[in-house]
């Protein structure tokens, strides 16, 4: 959208007509909007947002994003605001490694020669013959959640990491034609403070997800049916902050977020973090509040990764996928103490 052209229209057109034109520029092609609406209705109809134990849904799978979708993940740093000298970028990773998974039946032709036949029995004792990969003992299955099913899969999903899931999934590696490389958040943190007189600290970088839009309107990401956030990543030993931004009711609450720390160990190996959503604590402008409250999971607008550890030097964080998971044994709504000040004696 040409921003200057729209600003010129604001001075020429009446207010309601200008808002209509501005909305028209914001919407995507009509076929894309209808396809997105169909996907949302189909997912809700199949019950993928219901609280079923072991229900897993992808938030994003970076290796299978199109170039347009990949470019919507925005990167900012202190140099972007003229407040420092750090820089960052989000690019396709040049390193290849297996690990992305898909449900069998959606792409059975990925490995037509390496698949073998395995027999399993269901609860009724009937024997089921399934085509699977010849070996599931390789490093590709590095965690219980290594095999995760997409939200559009129309059948009841098995528990991730179970025998049924292993026999009904295939590992998609870089040989898959849809594979375009992992997401690589990299850059350099500089703690040098510009000599402006109004700054005392510098050095941060942020990677932010795109907003979920439908017909030009912001649609929240629905996290309320899930208990955990699952991230498969490969880091550099630094500590990153995972930040979830709810949809603010008032403009003075736009800096209210919930955060949790993502620890990385460095090295060539992948990590998978299973983080309870109840562990995200309330912050405002990156300051932890004494008065805590749980995040409103039904109004999540953005998800981002922030590095601000006051350590100067390069950083690197590779991302495979971000998923949502529901564990019925996770009973905590909020893991921190919530104080009631009504009983305070004055």
pLDDT tens for residues 164-214?
A: 433 333 333 444 555 677 899 999 999 999 888 888 888 999 999 988 776
In 10 A of CB 69, how many CB atoms?
12
pLDDT, average across residues 96-102: 46
For residues 101 and 269, the model is more confident at 269
Q: For the residues 106-128, what does the mean pLDDT come to?
A: 41
Q: Quick one: pLDDT at residue 314?
A: 93
Average pLDDT of the segment spanning 33-53: 60
Name the pTM for this structure. 0.68
Judged against a pLDDT cut of 60, whether residue 105 lies above it is answered with no
Q: What is the pLDDT of residue 340?
A: 66
Q: For 272-298, what is each residue's pLDDT tens digit?
A: 888 999 899 888 877 787 778 787 877
Residue 163, pLDDT > 70, answer no
Does the pLDDT of residue 56 top 60, yes or no? Answer: yes
- Kindly tell me if the per-residue pLDDT of 337 is higher than 60: yes
Contacts for 233 with CB less than 8 Å, ≥ 6 apart: 262, 264, 270, 271, 272, 273, 317, 318, 319, 320
pLDDT at residue 52, as a whole number = 63
Q: Which of 142, 300, 169, 284 is nearest to 229 (CA)?
A: 300
Q: Given a cut of 70, is residue 140 above it in pLDDT? A: no
Q: State which CATH number among 3.50.50.60, 2.70.98.10, 2.60.120.430, 3.40.50.620 fits the domain covering 24-96+183-332.
A: 2.60.120.430
How far is CA 79 from each of CA 72, 134, 240, 304, rounded to the nearest angstrom? 20, 50, 19, 18
Task: Give yes or no for a contact between 194 and 79, defined as CB atoms under 8 angstroms apart.
Answer: no
d(CA 83, CA 74): 18
Q: Please give the C-alpha separations between residue 65 and each of 81, 148, 204, in angstroms, as whole numbers.
A: 28, 16, 26
**Which of 276, 271, 282, 152 is closest to 223 using CA atoms?**
276
Q: What pLDDT sits at residue 21?
A: 72
Nearest to 145 by CA among 123, 117, 114, 169: 169
Between CA 288 and CA 12 the distance in angstroms is: 46
Residue 316 confidence (pLDDT): 93
Residue 156, C-beta contacts closer than 8 angstroms, at least 6 positions apart: none
- Rounded CA-CA distance 97/247 in Å is 36
Distance between CA 51 and CA 317 in Å, rounded?
Answer: 31
Percent of the chain with pLDDT over 90: 15
In angstroms, rounded to a whole number, what is the distance separating the alpha carbons of residues 244 and 295? 9
Of the listed ranges 88-102, 146-160, 257-271, 312-326, the least confidently predicted one is 146-160
How many Å apart are CA 36 and CA 59, to the nearest integer? 15
Pairing of strands 239-246, 217-218: unpaired
Percent of the chain with pLDDT over 70: 58
Q: Where are the domains of the chain?
A: 24-96+183-332, 98-173
């Amino acid at each position: 959208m040409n921003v200057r052209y729209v600003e010129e229209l604001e001075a020429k057109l009446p207010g309601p007509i200008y808002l209509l034109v501005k909305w028209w520029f914001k919407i995507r092609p009509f076929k894309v909007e209808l396809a997105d609406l169909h996907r949302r209705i189909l997912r809700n109809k199949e019950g993928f947002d219901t609280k079923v134990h072991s229900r897993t849904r992808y938030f994003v799978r970076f290796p299978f994003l199109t170039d347009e979708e990949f470019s919507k993940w925005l990167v900012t740093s202190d140099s972007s605001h003229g407040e420092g000298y750090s820089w960052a970028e989000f690019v396709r990773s040049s390193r290849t490694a297996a690990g992305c998974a898909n449900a069998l039946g959606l792409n059975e032709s990925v490995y037509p020669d390496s698949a073998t036949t395995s027999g399993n029995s269901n609860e009724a004792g009937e024997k089921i013959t399934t085509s699977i990969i010849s070996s599931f003992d390789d490093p590709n299955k590095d965690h219980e959640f290594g095999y995760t099913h997409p939200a559009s899969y129309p059948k009841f999903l098995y528990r991730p990491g179970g025998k049924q899931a292993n026999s009904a999934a295939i590992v998609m590696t870089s040989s898959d034609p849809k594979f375009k490389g992992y997401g690589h958040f990299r850059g350099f943190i500089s703690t040098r403070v510009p000599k402006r007189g109004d700054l005392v600290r510098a050095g941060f970088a942020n990677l932010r997800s795109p907003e979920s839009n439908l017909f030009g309107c912001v649609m929240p990401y629905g996290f309320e049916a899930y208990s955990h956030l699952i991230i498969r990543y490969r880091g550099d030993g630094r500590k990153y902050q995972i930040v979830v931004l709810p949809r603010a009711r008032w403009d003075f609450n736009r800096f209210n977020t919930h955060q949790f720390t993502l620890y990385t160990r460095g090295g060539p190996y992948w990590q998978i973090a299973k983080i309870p959503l109840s562990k995200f604590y309330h912050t405002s402008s990156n300051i932890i509040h004494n008065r805590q409250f749980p995040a409103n999971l039904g109004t999540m607008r953005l998800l981002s990764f922030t590095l601000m550890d006051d350590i100067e030097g390069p950083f690197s964080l590779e991302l495979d996928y971000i998923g949502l998971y529901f564990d019925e044994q996770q009973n905590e709504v909020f893991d921190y103490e919530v104080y009631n000040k009504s009983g305070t004696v004055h």
